Amino acid sequence: MTNLIDMSEREYFAQFAKRTGMFMGCTSLTVVTAFMVGYDQAAQRHGGPGLDGWREWLMENFQVSGNLVWEGQIRQVALPGWEGGWELTPEQEAHVLKVLFKLFDKFLAERDAAPGA
């Protein structure tokens, strides 16, 4: 495995998705969201793009509410008919995380392929 420091954001988050429990101790959507928000803040403080454009990408590619944070938007995509309750069953939580990492990888791939990236 490549050193985490030397990985692209896409490679890093692919490893994070495979081993979320190793990074965080538990695999809840709330904990993963907190990690990703912290990653975003650190990346931007040090000149990286972090999650820049992620929420907007979700709005452009899916019929999600613009008045939600991206965690809520992912719930809308992963759980059609979701009406805003924050409590999820373990099965729903696992499904939402799977969708999150799949879509985030697609977002990063598109961002990396964009001119000037």
Q: What is the pLDDT along the chain (117 residues), one digit of tens a residue?
A: 577 778 888 988 998 898 887 777 778 899 999 999 999 999 999 998 999 999 999 999 998 888 889 999 999 999 998 877 788 999 999 999 999 999 999 999 999 888 876
Burial of 40 (0-12, 13-18, 19+ CB in 10 A): middle
63-76 residues labelled b (16+ CB within 10 A) or e (exposed): ebeeebebbbbbbb
C-alpha to C-alpha distances, 10 to 23, 59, 81, nearest whole angstrom: 16, 20, 30
How far, rounded to the nearest angstrom, does the alpha carbon of residue 18 sit from its chain's CA centroid?
A: 13
Q: What pTM, to 2 d.p., does this model score?
A: 0.88
Structure tokens at 99: 């969708």
